[in-house]
Amino acid sequence: MTQVVIVGAGPTGLTLAMLLAKRGIAVKLIEASRSFRRVFRGEALMPSGLEAIAQMGLWDLVERIPHRPLNAWEFYIENRPIFRVNEPMELGGKPCTLISQPAFLEEVGVKAKQCESFELIQGTAVQELLWQNERVSGVKLGDGRAIAADIVIGADGRNSIVRQRANLPLKQEYQSFDILWFTLPTSPQFASENVFYSLLCGRQGFGVFQGSQGNLQVGWSLPKNEPIEWQKLNWAEKLASASPDWLATHFRQQASIERPLLLSIVVGRCPHWQIPGLLLLGDAAHPMSPIRAQGINMALRDVVVAANYLVPLLQSQPNFATIDAVLPQIQAQREPEIIQIQQLQQAEVAQAEQLRNNALMRYGVSRLAPLIQSKIRQSWLDRQLQLRQGFTQVYLTV
């Protein structure tokens, strides 16, 4: 029987492992961590990601685990409301929905473990790739075990060990930046509706929303060219100083705000997602910006396309040459959408930077908002369609 080794039990690796195992393909899933819990895991599913989950037959999981739809997006500049867009944006569509990713992974894991052809190896990291005749032939684990594979799939995220061991270069697409991530008690303002607020005051910008578990999630943009000693700041006051009155009051009411988590964001793509015997998917192949939560959504769409190619192939007991021939086709189908999404994300970042760096523009937009609100709102909406739905139609056909 053809054996697949998948490295990384995040959304990419675990959903692909489940799809393959349910179709009788032998899968060993390797995960370095002993649990699905992380200090930070993205929560937002756009309609594109929700549709991929539904096609995988996992929609019931979303309804069972902690989840919370967004009701609206609202933008403030210099503490003045600029415009608001309600969810769902599309007529008859699904709203952007926040899910507990650890709970989702645990539930998918339960489904995968029901398949006799599935094995999860947890708590041991991949140390090296195994090679035979210049082709990847398996993995070597940190505990010394060697696991043979007909194909290895690297789904181990933006810092992929598989990518590094395969010597597949990552081309950075634009300047990296950092985000400080806070988890705080919620505010009464979010009791009736969950709004994603984007706030820009002076050169200080951040987003805040209520996560799937009910806490406030705050992401503070920290440009690389503006170093600050963020570990020493009074963050309750710092956040309050850049917030409208109702939110500033909430921040100041926090007795203390724990040191945030520093997220270093690198956006890029591998020119080649594959070599003989190995395929990269998700952030391992194309680490995404957090703008509009594209990482998990694009990864799930990668999984659908990969399954469409791999399932019929692996069920037919192929030889190595046949497997290796199909891997570039997966990249060829997925890469155009990834490029376009990353370009749209960069356009969002560039506009935010333009406002951040131009005090006169910020002043004009904030003061003229009642007159230009509809035009700004429509311009923003025009950019969101593909960020929410993707550029191509992706259907699970196996």
Any idea where the domains of the chain sit in the sequence?
3-65+100-173+267-348, 177-265
Domain 3-65+100-173+267-348: CATH superfamily is FAD/NAD(P)-binding domain (3.50.50.60)
Give the residue from 288, 392, 314, 332 showing the smallest Cα distance to 11: 288
What average pLDDT score do residues 261-281 get? 93
Give the per-residue pLDDT at 168: 97
Question: What amino acid is encoded at 53 in this protein?
Answer: I
Dist. CA 345–CA 351, nearest whole Å: 10
Give the per-residue pLDDT at 195: 95
Q: What's the pLDDT tens digit per position in 120-138?
A: 999 999 999 999 999 999 9
Give the residue from 38, 287, 48, 3 showing the smallest Cα distance to 153: 3
Percentage of the chain modeled with pLDDT above 70: 97
Q: Strand 44-45's sheet: what is its strand order?
A: 44-45, 97-99, 67-69
Give the per-residue pLDDT at 145: 95
Residue 85 reports pLDDT greater than 80: yes
> For 187-196, 228-237, 360-369, which range has the lowest pLDDT when averaged over its residues?
228-237
What average pLDDT score do residues 235-242 get? 91
Give the per-residue pLDDT at 175: 66
Q: Is the distance from CB of 127 to CB of 14 less than 8 angstroms?
A: no
Q: Is the distance from CB of 245 to CB of 158 less than 8 angstroms?
A: no
Dist. CA 211–CA 185, nearest whole Å: 11
Dist. CA 394–CA 275, nearest whole Å: 24
The residue ranking higher by pLDDT, 264 or 101, is 101
When pLDDT is cut at 50, 70 and 90, the band that residue 369 belongs to is: confident
Residue 166 reports pLDDT greater than 90: yes
Question: What amino acid is encoded at 327 in this protein?
Answer: L
> For 177-191, 271-285, 329-343, which range has the lowest pLDDT when averaged over its residues?
177-191
Helix, strand, coil shares of the chain, percent, nearest 5, are: 40, 25, 35
**Residue 10 phi, psi (nearest 5):** -85, -165
Give the per-residue pLDDT at 123: 92
The residue ranking higher by pLDDT, 257 or 67, is 67
- Non-local CB neighbours of 370 within 8 Å, separated by 6+ positions: none
What average pLDDT score do residues 54-80 get? 93
Residue 222 reports pLDDT greater than 90: no
Domain 177-265 of CATH type 3.30.9.10: yes
What average pLDDT score do residues 173-179 get? 76
Dist. CA 74–CA 197, nearest whole Å: 5
Dist. CA 26–CA 29, nearest whole Å: 10
Dist. CA 73–CA 288, nearest whole Å: 21
- C-alpha distances (whole Å) from 333 to each of 88, 223, 271, 346 are 28, 33, 14, 22
Residue 224 reports pLDDT greater than 70: no
The residue ranking higher by pLDDT, 385 or 238, is 238
Give the per-residue pLDDT at 122: 93
Residue 208 reports pLDDT greater than 80: yes
Residue 43 reports pLDDT greater than 90: no
The residue ranking higher by pLDDT, 367 or 4, is 4
Cis-peptide into 276, omega within 30 deg: no
Give the residue from 105, 90, 119 showing the smallest Cα distance to 14: 105
When pLDDT is cut at 50, 70 and 90, the band that residue 40 belongs to is: low
Dist. CA 309–CA 300, nearest whole Å: 15
The residue ranking higher by pLDDT, 78 or 175, is 78
What is the chain's length? 398
Q: What's the pLDDT tens digit per position in 147-158?
A: 999 999 999 999
Residue 33 reports pLDDT greater than 60: yes
The average confidence (pLDDT) of the chain is: 91
